[in-house]
Amino acid sequence: MGNSFACFSPTVRKISKESSDSDQLPPRISNSGNRKSRKSESSSRNGEIIDDSYIKQQALVASMLYHHHMQNGDLLNLDRSISVKYPPPSSNKLKKLQKRSYSVSDSGSKALQLIHQDVGTEESEKKHFVLVHGGGFGAWCWYKIIALLKESKCEVEAIDLTGSGLNSCDINSITTLAEYAKPLTDFLAKLGDDKKVILVGHDFGGACVSYAMELHSAKVSKAVFVAAAMLTTEQSIHDVFSQKSCLNDLNERAWKFSYANGKNHPPTAIDLDKSLLEDFLFNRTSSKDIALASVSMRQVPFAPLTEKLSLSTANHGSIPRFYIKTEEDFAIPLPLQEAMIKSNQPKQVFQLKGSDHSPFFSKPQALHRLLIEVSEITSM
| Closest listed residue to residue 297, CA positions, set 108, 161, 99 | 161
Is 51 an annotated catalytic residue?
no
Count of other CB atoms within 10 angstroms of residue 323: 25
Strand, coil or helix: 351:
strand
The secondary structure of 186-200 as a DSSP string is HHHHHS-TT--EEEE
239 catalytic residue (yes or no):
no
Q: Which of 160, 329, 356, 368 is catalytic?
A: 329
Rounded to 10 degrees, the C-alpha dihedral 55/357/151/195 comes to -110
Cross-strand partners of 201: 132, 225
Helix axes 143-151, 52-72, angle to 10 degrees: 30
Contact partners, residue 209, CB within 8 Å, separation at least 6? 132, 184, 199, 200, 201, 223, 225, 228
Strand order in the sheet with 348-352: 155-159, 128-132, 197-203, 220-228, 321-326, 348-352
Catalytic residue among 69, 133, 357, 368: 357
Please name the amino acid found at residue 141: C
Q: Is 203 marked active-site?
A: yes
Residue 110: partners with Cβ closer than 8 Å, 6 or more residues away: 102, 103, 104, 353
**Hey, what amino acid is at 4?**
S
CA–CA separation, 377 and 114 (whole Å):
12
Instruction: Pick the catalytic residue from 203, 279, 289, 356.
Output: 203
CB 4 within 8 A of CB 255: yes
SS3 state at 96: coil
- Residue 221 is inside which H or E element, if any? strand 220-228
Strand-pairing partners, residue 225, are 201, 323
- Any residues with CB less than 8 A from the CB of 217 and at least 6 apart, and which? 314, 315, 316, 318, 319
Catalytic center residues: 203, 329, 357
